[in-house]
Structure 1
């Protein structure tokens, strides 16, 4: 047990701040839509395919090549356009540009997402966050084991009684065991999004690949997308348009994402693939016909990011993120304060 305690404390002292960072940024991202301060953000979403088509056509005719556009929805009443050079814009549902940026760091909600998801380090950062999630799960399990020995001292507090190491340790143990179930849910869903193979065949089932098209380049023809939207909604009559992704290389299709009523993911996992030249549909992917693995995988992000469950789940995950922030930051503070105090005592003893 002593070895387990040492491992728990030393690894926490090294990685605690990273977990605290993920907890704090995750808490803020739970309220990402509410913290997107831009004109028309609170407008109710209007399910008007013709109006959406006009906005898309206007953007496609602009000077900057478009990478993707995410359409206004229940959480955010503006369209979000991302251009091929990394810049972007928010547009009202009537097509008026209400905000522009040349880099993601100019928009706090985009910068926070990249910090939480990739630590501003691209794919390498994503792997690091996944490893941090695994370490966090290890902390939860070992923390429960270590707490069990002193369970009679259980006195849950929002904040330590004092900022002395002993009081911080007691607070750390008690708040950790109280929030352990929610921490496990948050950490497991985050880890499985980064490392789906850890879920075994139940999660890591091979995904369907988009069909190839006979296109000499990735350029999308300047056509009215209204017929494409109408054809997609005819195939999925109860779905809503959520995102249009331009092809990023020759031979790739134009991808239209829709969300059906049974889907938890805000942007849906219903895909319609179209030829970028003719805008004719060349394939679809319907999650209603997918297997168990696809159904479980589709729910990981909405659970992790509180995109389902309403206000109660948002509040629960917010408290969980704040708890993780306290657990990580105060553990680092307490550990190194104790070490520094012990080092000072040894120096004084030698100087006497």
Structure 2
């Protein structure tokens, strides 16, 4: 029974690996880069994100900065304003054109100088993310990565069955023999290294299903709340509100008072003029990552309409918010990011080392082997060709 189970596991491991290997390689390799997106983005685009800031300098009013952007780009509508916590960071305005969304403008908050603009779809990490999620193939790619993710989960389970040690090979199953010949070293890198990162990559792949299959997201929140998730929308603006000339600065000041913790702030404007301004602030002082609270303001007067604080959210919503930091490794900061990076890096090597193992077994050369045959009471040695 045990041998039959291992034979089934071996066939599933082989053929599912053949089907999904290339996709797993691309997704894992791009995942390595995305782990440190937040740290690498300013390094890749310093002019877009960084400015020189002195301790005595004061930021220009947001409404003034928004006026500069609107003057420079009169045909485009401001959709979002993003402000980072650090003083040496630009303020980024996301704009919408008639043709497309995803155009961004960075401005120096102290001088009002526009430091750069770009199409977000062409930015490096945007391309990496599209490769990671759907191979830059839109819905078709999303189906492919979703199926490959499920295959990879089965591959890890069958791999554990094949790796499972017995009394004779227990030491070998836990140790990489770095000084061994290539064939043995390649097997160790595939099986032993794969075993050590298995809990991490299994969790990463499992949480990845949330983006591939909407029903996984629904079932997650159903498990915690007992009901499907509801769509969160901004309320309508206040009726007959008076226009405030410094509405953005007023919203910003109120946000700081309501949410005094450290963290980036994003103001998002509804697609229709009826919806209130949604302001989100990330809590960088929280024990885990991706903790965000929301405030809603009247678009004309800047009056606070309602609050949606993280501590008042449902258990299902909180569980869903944890999926992203678990998947990316940002849950507990640098320690979990490094773990996620190493796990994803090893995961990217598994299809390569697996193919090498398969090629070695498939095209193994035939070697003469001595066997002993018993004829009556005499033993004679005969050389026969055997294939291992």
Assess, with a 3 A threshold, how the Cα gap between structure 1 residues 60 and 127 changes in structure 2: closer, same or farther: farther
Matched, 1:225 2:225: no
Q: Deviations over 1:66-105 (max 9, x none)?
A: 2323322469934343322332233444343333223522
Q: CA deviation at 1:273?
A: 2.2
Partner of 2:223: 201
The gaps in structure 1 that reach 5 residues or longer are 343-352
State the SS of the aligned residue for 1:34.
Answer: helix
Aligned counterpart in structure 2 of residue 102 of structure 1, from 119, 122, 130: 119
Aligned runs of 1:83-162 on 2, under 5 Å? 83-84=95-96, 85=100, 86-94=102-110, 95-102=112-119, 104-105=121-122, 107-122=123-138, 125-126=141-142, 128-149=144-165, 152=170, 153-154=172-173, 156-157=175-176
1:38 aligns to what?
Answer: 45
- CA change 1:238–1:32 in 2 (3 A) is closer
> CA separation in 2, counterparts of 1:320 and 1:17?
17
The Cα offsets for residues 3-62 of structure 1, whole Å up to 9 and x where unpaired, read as: 22101110111101111111111111112133222236466999x886555434533454
**C-alpha distance in 2, partners of 1:228/1:247?**
15
- Cα distance in structure 2, aligned partners of 1:281 and 1:235: 10
| 1:100 counterpart SS class | strand
Alpha-carbon separation, structure 1, partners of 2:142 and 2:246: 37
The 8 Å contact of residues 33 and 75 in structure 1, kept in 2 or not, is answered as no
Deviation at 1:253, TM superposition (A): 3.1
Say yes or no: does 1:285 pair with 2:308.
Answer: yes
Match of residue 325, structure 2, among 284, 287, 302:
302
Give runs of aligned pairs for residues 61-72 of structure 1, distance below 5 A.
Answer: 61=71, 62-63=73-74, 64-72=76-84
Please state how far the C-alpha of 1:294 moved relative to its aligned partner: 2.1
Distance 1:103 1:297, change over 3 A: closer
* 1:326 aligned counterpart, secondary structure: helix
Closer, same or farther in 2 for the Cα pair 1:289/1:123, shift >3 Å?
farther
Count of residue pairs brought into register by the alignment: 335
Question: 1:26 maps to what in 2?
Answer: 31
CA contact (8 A) 2:103 2:118 kept: yes
The corresponding residue for 1:4 is 9
- Structure index of larger Rg: 2
Partner of 2:20: 15
Greater RCO, 1 or 2 (C-alpha within 8 Å, sep 6+): 1
Cα offset, 1:214, TM superposition? 6.0
2:336 is aligned with 1:313: yes
| Aligned match for 2:286, one of 262, 269, 274 | 262
Q: 1:323, CA displacement in angstroms?
A: 0.5
SS where residue 27 of structure 2 aligns?
Answer: helix
Alignment of 1:179 onto 2:169: no
For structure 2, the 5+ residue unaligned runs are: 365-388
Return the offset for 1:286: 1.0
Q: Deviation at 1:173? A: 1.5
1:81 and 2:88 aligned: no
Once residues 264 and 76 of structure 1 are traced to their aligned partners in structure 2, the CA distance between those partners, rounded to angstroms, is: 25
Match of 2:261?
Answer: 238
C-alpha distance in 1 between matches for 2:130 and 2:309: 29
Q: State the shift of 1:141 in Å.
A: 1.8
Where is the strand percentage greater, Structure 1 or Structure 2? 2
CA distance in 2, matches of 1:254, 1:189: 31
TM-score (norm 1): 0.79
CA RMSD of aligned residues (A): 3.7
Q: Distance in 2 between matches of 1:60 and 1:128?
A: 41
